[in-house]
Amino acid sequence: MKPSPAAAGVDGGATASPINDGPPRNTAGAGGPGGRGTAPGHPDDAAGPIIELSGVSYRYPGQKRDAVNRLDLSLGAGQALGLVGESGSGKSTSLAIMAGLIRDLRNGHVRFEGAPLTLRSPARRRYFRRRVQVVFQDPYNSLDPRQRIGAALAEPLIALGLEPSREGRRSRCAAMLAAVGLEPAMAERWPHEFSGGQRQRITIARALLTEPRALLADEPVSALDQATKVELVDLLRTIAAQRGLALVMVSHDLAVVAELCSHLIVMARGRVVEAGATGQVLGHPRQTYTRDLIAAVPRLPVEND
């Protein structure tokens, strides 16, 4: 599935508008159960969005510009949301805010399952961390080189008190390794013994061990080669479907995002520029920025004869 080539270069008059045109709106993910049609939902699924950002603004210390500016974003249960945009558009920052990693916001609120997100009490913290997990970009950095795989996988189980017995942890980790296409015996090995693709599988396994409702992925396949990318994307799609996971994927690679996500949010300079169903946004982009983004995807020169 590739983005429609017809979008390239077509500029239909009145719909061309500057980036900051209109109030930042988000039409993607208006909550609601399931987003994938017949796929089973997560056991915890209730009506209402899982994570909601309203009017969020944040600026990194020492920066002159907001990383995100009056951002509205909503992730519904089971929904697959893609965050795209150039570097510096605020996608990763948005993800970090959704993951509860950035707390000192200048403006706006973050809601989790309808209630304001507070991580003050250990109980609330554990509850949130169970249900919202993160997969990071750099496979060479997201596993502690001094920790065996088994220990890395078991860490969330220990920290969140999800499995008191060592045997139980071992078997759960083994099962999860199998689920992501790896050998259970690999739990005894060290991160450096694995390739980038395998390490990403391990980090995905770690994220899935807590049986989360939502998986936030920050450019999970950017550091991988093409073939591995495809495998990992397939894995993510399968897993999300099987477990009714909501998925947020940040990527600068439109092709990857288009594969996985039913809805897209295009960001620029910390604000939402365009949002909607993937096919809609890619096929009929309303903003120049979006069009430029789509046009920038390299296409193989194919001879039509």
Partner 1 sequence: MTALTGPTTAGREADRRPPATTTDPTYATSGPAADRPTALDSPAPDALQPASPSSPAAAPADDRPARAGRARRRPTLVVGAVLVGLGLLVAVVSLFWTPYNLTDTAGGRLEAPSLDHWLGTDKLGRDTASFVMVGTRIALQVGLGAAGIAALAGTAVGLAAAWAKPWLDDAAASVFDVMLAFPTLLLAMVIGAAQGRSTATVIIAIGLAQSAYVARLSRILARRVRGQAFVTAAIVSGSSLWAITFRHLLPNMWTMLVVNFALSFGVGVLAEATLSYLGLGVPPPNASLGRLMKEAQQTVLTAPVEAIAPGVMVLVLVIGANYLADGLRELADPVARGRA
Residues that bind partner 1 (CB under 8 A): 61, 99, 101, 125-126, 129-130, 133-134, 136-138, 140-147, 152, 155-156, 159-160, 190-192, 203, 206, 210
Which residue, 160 or 255, has its beta carbon nearer to partner 1?
A: 160
Which residue, 215 or 268, has its beta carbon nearer to partner 1?
A: 215
Q: How far is the CB of 24 from partner 1 (least distance, A)?
A: 27
Which residue, 141 or 242, has its beta carbon nearer to partner 1?
A: 141
Q: Give me the amino acid identity at 305.
A: D
Residues paired with residue 274 on neighbouring β-strands, in sequence order: 266
Which residue, 143 or 236, has its beta carbon nearer to partner 1?
A: 143
Q: How far is the CB of 101 from partner 1 (least distance, A)?
A: 7
Which residue, 176 or 275, has its beta carbon nearer to partner 1?
A: 176
CA 297 to chain centre: 20
Q: How far is the CB of 198 from partner 1 (least distance, A)?
A: 14
Beta strands in the chain (DSSP E): 51-58, 68-75, 80-84, 107-112, 115-116, 132-135, 214-218, 246-251, 263-268, 271-277
What are the residues whose beta carbons fall under 8 Å from the beta carbon of 260, sequence distance 6 or more? 80, 82, 233, 236, 237, 240, 247, 249
Q: How far is the CB of 19 from partner 1 (least distance, A)?
A: 30
Structural Rg of the chain based on CA atoms: 20
Q: How far is the CB of 141 from partner 1 (least distance, A)?
A: 4
Whole-angstrom distance, CA of residue 78 vs CA of residue 214: 8
Q: How far is the CB of 264 from partner 1 (least distance, A)?
A: 24
Q: How far is the CB of 70 from partner 1 (least distance, A)?
A: 25
Q: What are phi and psi of 63, to 5 degrees?
A: -90, 155
DSSP one-letter string for 150-162: HHHHHHHHHHTT-
171 token code pair = 């078997």
Which residue, 89 or 203, has its beta carbon nearer to partner 1?
A: 203
Which residue, 202 or 268, has its beta carbon nearer to partner 1?
A: 202
Kindly state the DSSP code that residue 41 receives in the 8-state scheme: P
